[in-house]
Structure 1
Amino acid sequence: MQLHGRIARIPECVEVGDFCLQGFIEGRTLGSGPLRSRTLSPRHTGQLGQLFRELVAIKSDELETVERRCEPQDRLPDGDTTGFLHRLIHFTEDRFYSGHVTQYGTLFDELGVCGAQLDGLRCQSEQLTDRPFTLIHGDLHRHNFIVDSAGDLWTIDWELAVIGDPLYELATHLHLMRYPEREEVRIAKLWQAEVESVLPGSSLNWEQDLPILLAYKRAQSAFTDIIRTALALGPGPEPNWRILPRAAWKLQRVLAAAQEPLALRSVPTLQQVLSAYANWFRSSAARSAP
């Protein structure tokens, strides 16, 4: 299914033989230069609201002919928001913890994070309200919004798009954008009004369910950012000492945000995070030494 024509400001894709070429949008990301404000202008607020409307207007049954990665028997029934979150939790545990525990297990251990800590979120997901599934971009952060020369907001990088709970779109957006509290409330209410105007019921019980999905996003970030930080500090045998303090500070904030969702007994101090990476690099170098 072509999204061009359904989403107002999206790069056009052209098929050339076996390849699909995406058009280039000239401009700046919303997260660069003078555009780095933590609040949205009225113009961009309106265009974000339009994007929310356009996304929920594309319902799951319209996407039946789209090539999908999962097998038909693995596809969830429309509206199964609990099953949707269960799949996300399993993906996080399997891909980012179990799939990397051989390489990063000692680092996870020293930072007090393990896959079993996601079980609490699985229990909370049983409380979710069913909502009709729609198209979800899944990665609406500042660097995936391009502001062109006319000041219009374009949405790029659709490779994480999925079919699922539309409230997950809002949770992901709020988590990634790091709005101030008042702006977060304003954008959440904007989302609710916009999606209900197109698909009644798509925001059902959103105020009760949003904290659960936000908790998942904070927990997910703990797993992904532990690995990303190690990669950013590499390749070793010592971490990049110049960037380690800031990287450790950022990760310490991520772990603090994940303390409640993951039921962490304590949040590592900045010094403990620094030591964990220094120790991991040294032990990795020792294991790989001839």
Structure 2
Amino acid sequence: MNWLELYGQAQASGEAAAGYYNRNVGVRTAEGKVNVRIPLAAADTMDVRIWDEEDVLDCIRPYVSRAPQLRHVSLDPRFQVHHFIEGRVLDSFSPRGSSVPEHVIDDVVGVMEQLVRIPPEKAPPLPVDWPESGDGAGFGRLLARLTQQVHDTHRDEYAAVFADFGVPEEPLAVLEPLWDGLVSRPFAVLHADLHRKNMIVSDGTTWFLDWELALWGDPLYEIGIHFHKMDYPAGQRAEVLRRWRDRLPVSATVGPEADLDLYLAHERVKSAIVDTVRYSKQLVGAPSAVVEFLTHRLAKKLNVARPVWGAAPDMTPERVTRTLAPWVEG
């Protein structure tokens, strides 16, 4: 197969699904359809990233049953080719905040169980300064440090916006003394981005995409970030947590509810900061329907973050629109 030719077809295609870091293009070949995955050169780094995605896919292949199969990797130009998974993106029929099909819960817990059972020595190499396994405080502070860096990078440009949205000058300070209280759990490979747009449902089973943000860390963080991004109805969230505790090793799930609450608090703070920046850029020149959708979503994200800082969850879409008017008006 001529991989560079495939890459050229993908580059020329007007049809693509894009996340924040990669553009995905389905291309038909004589051997079947494949997904060409091309990094977005101008993407801002808003998440902790320690591994190349192809190394993650190689690592998990013997252990995770429903992840993309890596067909080819090119370093220059930079792209990957995955086998194409036919099906429906979960978000397209079960959007954020709604209940998911019953089998999706089992599949989500199943992939978390598969990940924590990967032997540590099979994980890709770690950065030299990465926290030791079980050092929850070090891991939590590492996450918080990146969030603080994002805030600091955009502090001047967004000073008035952050102030109106109730984002403190030091948004992570309220969490700092709490990291030391985390219970020690053995680290594991984490997907760290399990949300509805990264799941494809095909013939009653769920496939898990986009492994670019995979980490080595506290398995409780996996379910914390999953809860934040899925926004399950309360009953389903409780059911996911129950099954997760039942199926994963006790060493991975031990600890009080306060540990989960701390990771959730961090994700709410991070989302308020990161999505203020991301959404403002998406608002430039956007049609009114997109503006309405994004401002409603951002208001909701701010309202789950504001109580972390001791503020009332009283942000409205109208206020978000007024505050971001310079971007909305272009």
Deviation at 1:255, TM superposition (A): 1.1
Considering Cα pairs closer than 8 Å and 6+ residues apart, tell me whether 1 or 2 has the greater RCO. 1
Q: Give the deviation of 1:265 after TM superposition.
A: 6.5
For 1:94 and 1:276, the matched residues in 2 are separated by: 23
Partner of 1:288 in structure 2? none
Cα distance in 1 for residues equivalent to 2:97 and 2:307: 29
Does the C-alpha gap of structure 1 residues 121 and 35 become closer, same or farther in structure 2, counting only changes over 3 Å?
closer
Name which of 33, 40, 45 aligns with 2:105: 45
* Aligned position for 1:268: 315
- 2:185–2:218: 8 Å Cα contact kept in structure 1? yes
- Alignment-derived partner of residue 88 in structure 1: 143
8 A Cα contact 1:93 1:115, kept in partner: no
- 1:34, distance to aligned residue in structure 2 (A): 6.8
**Aligned partners of 1:225, 1:114: CA distance in 2, in Å?**
16
Structure 1 segments (4+ residues) deviating >4 Å: 16-20, 34-37, 239-242, 279-282
Q: Which amino acid aligns with 1:247?
A: L
Deviation, structure 1 residue 193? 1.3
Q: What amino acid sits opposite 1:210 in the alignment?
A: L
Q: Corresponding residue for 1:212? A: 262
Q: Residues 61-95 of structure 1, C-alpha deviation per residue, up to 9 Å, x if partnerless?
A: 432xx244x3x1x1111101111111111101102
In 2, Cα distance between equivalents of 1:250 and 1:144: 19
Greater alpha carbon shift after TM alignment, 100-109 vs 163-172: 100-109
1:77-114 Cα offsets, whole Å, 9 max, x none, are 1101111111111101102x111223323322232214
1:258 to 294, 300, 305: 305
User: Tell me, what secondary structure is at the counterpart of 1:272?
Assistant: helix
Cα RMSD over matched residues?
2.4
Answer with 221-230 or 273-282: which moved more: 273-282
Which residue of the other structure, out of 72, 90, 102, is the alignment partner of 1:30?
90
Q: Which has the higher helix share?
A: 1
The 1-side partners of 2:138 and 2:308 are apart by 19
Distance 1:35 1:245, change over 3 A: closer
3-state SS of 1:119 partner: coil
Between the aligned residues of both structures, percent identity stands at 29
TM-score (norm 1): 0.84
Distance 1:16 1:233, change over 3 A: closer
Q: Which residue in the other structure is 1:186 paired with?
A: 239
**1:118 counterpart SS class:** coil
Question: Deviations 1:179-215 (Å, cap 9, x if unpaired)?
Answer: 111110000111111112xxx3111114231111111
Structure 2 unmatched runs, 5+: 1-57
SS in 1 for 2:172: helix
Q: Secondary structure at the match of 1:163?
A: strand
Distance in 2, Cα, partners of 1:92 & 1:36: 23
| Superposition TM-score, scaled by structure 2 size | 0.74
Say if 1:180 and 1:103 are closer, same or farther in 2 by CA, change over 3 A.
same
Query: Aligned residues, how many?
Result: 270
Question: Aligned to 1:172, what secondary structure does the other structure show?
Answer: helix
- Classify the secondary structure of the residue corresponding to 2:242: helix
Amino acid at match of 2:71: V
